[in-house]
Amino acid sequence: MHPLAQDQAHLAGAIRLAQTHSRAGHGGPFGAVIVADGKIIARGWNKVTSANDPTAHAEVTAIRAACRKLKTFQLRDCVLYSSCEPCPMCLAACYWARLDRLVYAASRADAAAIGFDDDFLYREIPLPPARRRLRAAQSLRDEAREVMRAWFADPDRVPY
C-alpha cells in the first residue's frame, strides 16, 4: 500500500474510534491508533469523563496499550495516528514514548472551535512559572536533587 494511502487508512480508523466512543459517552471525540510495520499495535480513545481521569486522552491511552502489549516503555519505529492534533500533554507523551512519527487529522484550532482550548496550554508552557495561571512553588530542592543523584549513580538504573 502506498504510504499516503496507509496514513489515510489509519487516520480513518482513529476517526472511527473517536466517533464510536464519543457517541457511546466514553469521553471527547478523539481516537488514536499506533502502528508498527504496517500493523495496528494498539488503539485508544478519549476516556476522560468515563474514567474520571484527565490524562486519559486518546493518544495516552493508545501509548499505554501499545507499551503493555510490546512490554516496553519506548515505541521506536511506531507511528501514532490521531484524529486530532495532540494537546501538549499528549505531544509530550509522544516524545517520551520515542515514537517515530505522528500523523493527525483535525487541528488544535478545530478542537478549540468546539470548546477544547489546547492552545491555552501551548501558550502557558513557554511562560516562566511565576507568570503561568497555575500557581506553583518550589521547595526542598536539595533533598530532591539528592534522590536524583543517587538514581544517576546507580549502575543498575534503567535509563530512558
Three cell numbers, residue 34: 499506533
Active-site option among 59, 85, 124, 143: 59
Strands laid side by side in the 39-45 sheet: 39-45, 31-36, 78-84, 101-106
End-to-end CA distance of the chain: 34
Active site residue 124: no
β-pair type (31-36, 39-45): antiparallel
Q: Long-range contact list for 1-5, CB < 8 A, 24+ apart?
A: 1/38
Active site residues: 59
